[in-house]
Structure formats: C-alpha cells, structure tokens
C-alpha cells in the first residue's frame, strides 16, 4: 500500500486542498494579528501607524473586558449544566419503550435544526416578551406582574435560549450511549440487588462518562463563541450585562469602528479558547482513553 510512489502521489493529490485550507486559515489570522498592532479606526482616518501593545492594553484594561470574561464563563457553564443534567434525564425517559417513540425522538431533536437567530427571535417575541409573550400571559393569568426577561435577567435569558438549542444535541449523544449499554449488564446489576438509583449511579453513569466528556468538549467549543442569540435579543445589554467575549469583539470592532482594538480582542479570544481547551483536555480528556 504505502510504497514511496503512492505516498508521493497522495501528497501531490492532497496538496491543493491543504494549501487552500491553510491560506483560508492563515491569511485572516495574520491580518487580525497585523491589525491588532495598528492604530486603525474607521471614524478617524487620520489615526494610523504602529500601536505597539496599545490596543491590547486598551481592551484588557477596560472593565467591560473582565465582565465579558465572567459572562462567557457563566454562559458556558450554565448551558453545560442544564444540557447535561436535562439531557441525561431526557435520554433516560426516551430510552423507555413508549408508543410513538420514533416520532417523539424527532420532535425532541428538532430544536437543534432551528437556526440560532430564529430560535432567539422565537424566544424573544414568542415567549419572553413582557407584553405579548407566552410567559407574560402565563404570569398575568396568575395575576402576577410579567417579567421583562431581557432587562431583568439578561444573561439568564440568553442561557435559557442557548440551552434550549443545545439540549437536543446532548440528549441525542447521551441516548445513544445509554442504548449501547449491554442488556446483560443491567440484568446482572438487577440480580445483584441494585435498585434503580444504584443501577443509575454505579452502572449507567460510569458507562456514559465518555459521552458526557464528548458533549462537554464539543459544546464548550461552540458556546465560547455564542453571538447570534445575544445580537438578536439583548444586544449585549443592559450595559454589558449579557456581553461575552465574542460580542465584545463585535462591539469594539464593528459598533465602535475601532478595527485595531477589535482585532486585539479577537486575538485575546483565540488565546482564551486555547487555554480553555488545554484545561478541558487535562481535566476530562482522560475519560477518552479507551
């Protein structure tokens, strides 16, 4: 198979794809790095030239940066907790033999197919709007003052929307894990006198550990860059209450027209994502070893 000739040939054949991919990745990264060291503002064309670490100091030194960082962590952790706990419970339910199982599973998975801005709009206008949202009506039905979700609990509202979108993903992965548990193991545990709770704790949970790890890893990657839901609902506000790092980059670069500082924020976001990834792999990656 792998003679010298086939190796050379395969490299030549792969080269165009690899080169295109590299350019696609390297060029924007280098441009971002370049801009992050430049004075480059769209509203002040006179401000040009090398900025040194100025843009970085400006972004990191701003109090909004710390708040965005904390918001990012709360957003990621909050969604992870809701999706994994909820996903496990839903998977356990969906694993029971019930009538119309196939249809039910498709319905449960469907939120994952809704595009983020659409999902956010549905929640914003359909559920969480104090005037005509479903939740507002529900509150009124009980004689309560409707909650203005996006003003009173902006970050929590965003977490709810994002968790709703990612719950099906977690459920799906955990359900397949649950179904791959051998029937004989469950029966053996039953014979050994383990009740349902013990079976879940000692047999099912350890079996699902690897899948939970995968869910955590994949979701974290996507949740660090949540943008559309914030853009559509709260716009990062009130103040900076629901601004995460990704949205801060957008606010600095696009809304404030400061390309230099925005690029610096982008580079910082890339570094944070990598730090989180390394930390995660250390913490939960051992579950992935066969």
Dihedral sign from CA coordinates of 15, 18, 20, 26: negative
Of residues 44 and 185, the one with the C-beta less far from another protein:
185
- Dihedral pair phi/psi, residue 142, rounded to 5°: -95, 10
154-173 residues in contact with another protein (CB under 8 A) are none
Separation CA 150–CA 136 (nearest Å) = 12
Distance CA 243, CA 227 (A): 9
Longest dimension (CA), the chain: 80
CA distance 230 to 68: 12
Part of the chain binding another protein (CB under 8 A), chosen from 20-28, 76-84, 157-165, 188-196: 188-196
Structure-token pair, residue 51? 């900025």
Closer residue to another protein in complex, CB, 203/259: 203
CA-wise closest residue to 188 among 171, 172, 207? 207
Residue selected from 202, 281, 283, 285 as contacting another protein according to rule CB under 8 A: 202
Q: Quick check: 188 binds another protein (CB under 8 A)?
A: yes
Taking the complex as a whole, the smallest distance from the CB of residue 140 to another protein amounts, in Å, to: 49
Q: Does 209 contact another protein by CB under 8 A? A: yes
Q: Of the candidates 26, 29, 187, 254, which one interacts with another protein according to CB under 8 A? A: 187
What single DSSP character describes residue 113?
Answer: G
Least distance from another protein to the Cβ atom of residue 185, Å: 5
CA distance 83 to 160: 10
Binding string, 258-287, against another protein, x = CB under 8 A?
------------------------------
**Residue span binding another protein (CB under 8 A) among the ranges 25-33, 122-130, 184-192, 273-281:** 184-192
Number of residues that bind another protein (CB under 8 A): 18
* Contact flag: residue 201 with another protein (CB under 8 A): no
How far apart, in whole angstroms, are the C-alpha atoms of residue 223 and residue 213? 15
Contact between 182 and another protein (CB under 8 A)? yes
The CA distance from 202 to 211, in Å, is 16
Q: How far apart are CA 71 and CA 243, in angstroms?
A: 7
Task: Please state the closest distance from residue 290 (CB atom) to another protein, in A.
Answer: 9
CB of residue 192 vs another protein: minimum separation in angstroms?
A: 4
Does 194 bind another protein (CB under 8 A)? Our answer is yes
Number of DSSP helices (H) and strands (E) in the chain, helices first: 14, 0
Judge residue 208's burial from the number of C-beta atoms within 10 Å of its C-beta, 0-12 exposed, 13-18 middle, 19 or more buried: buried
Q: Candidates 13-21, 92-100, 202-210, 216-224 — which segment interacts with another protein by CB under 8 A? A: 202-210
Rounded Cα distance, 253 and 109, in Å: 36
* Residue from the set 185, 270, 278, 285 that interacts with another protein by CB under 8 A: 185
Binding positions for another protein, rule: CB under 8 A: 182, 184-185, 187-195, 198, 202-203, 206-207, 209
């Amino acid at each position: 198979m792998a003679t010298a000739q086939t190796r050379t040939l395969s490299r030549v054949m792969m080269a165009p794809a690899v080169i295109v991919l590299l350019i696609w990745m390297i060029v924007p990264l280098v441009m971002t790095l370049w801009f992050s060291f430049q004075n480059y503002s769209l509203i002040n064309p006179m401000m040009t030239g090398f900025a040194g670490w100025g843009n970085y100091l400006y972004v990191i030194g701003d109090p909004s940066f710390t708040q965005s960082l904390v918001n990012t962590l709360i957003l990621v952790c909050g969604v992870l907790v809701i999706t994994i706990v909820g996903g496990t419970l839903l998977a356990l339910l969906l694993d029971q033999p019930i009538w119309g199982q196939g249809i039910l599973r498709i319905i449960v998975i469907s939120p994952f197919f809704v595009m983020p801005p659409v999902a956010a709009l549905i929640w914003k206008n359909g559920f969480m709007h104090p005037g005509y949202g479903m939740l507002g009506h529900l509150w009124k039905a009980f004689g309560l003052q409707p909650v203005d979700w996006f003003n009173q609990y902006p970050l929590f509202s965003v977490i709810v929307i994002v968790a709703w979108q990612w719950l099906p993903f977690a459920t799906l992965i955990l359900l397949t894990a649950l179904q791959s548990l051998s029937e004989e193991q469950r029966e053996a545990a039953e014979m050994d006198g383990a009740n349902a709770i013990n079976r879940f704790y000692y047999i099912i949970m350890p079996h699902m550990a690897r899948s939970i790890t995968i869910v955590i890893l994949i979701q974290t990657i996507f949740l660090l860059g949540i943008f559309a839901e914030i853009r559509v609902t709260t716009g990062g506000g009130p103040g900076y209450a629901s601004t995460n790092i990704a949205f801060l980059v957008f606010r600095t670069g696009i809304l404030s027209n400061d390309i230099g500082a925005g690029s610096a924020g982008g580079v910082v976001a890339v570094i944070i994502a990598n730090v989180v990834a390394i930390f995660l792999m250390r913490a939960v990656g051992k579950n992935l070893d066969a």
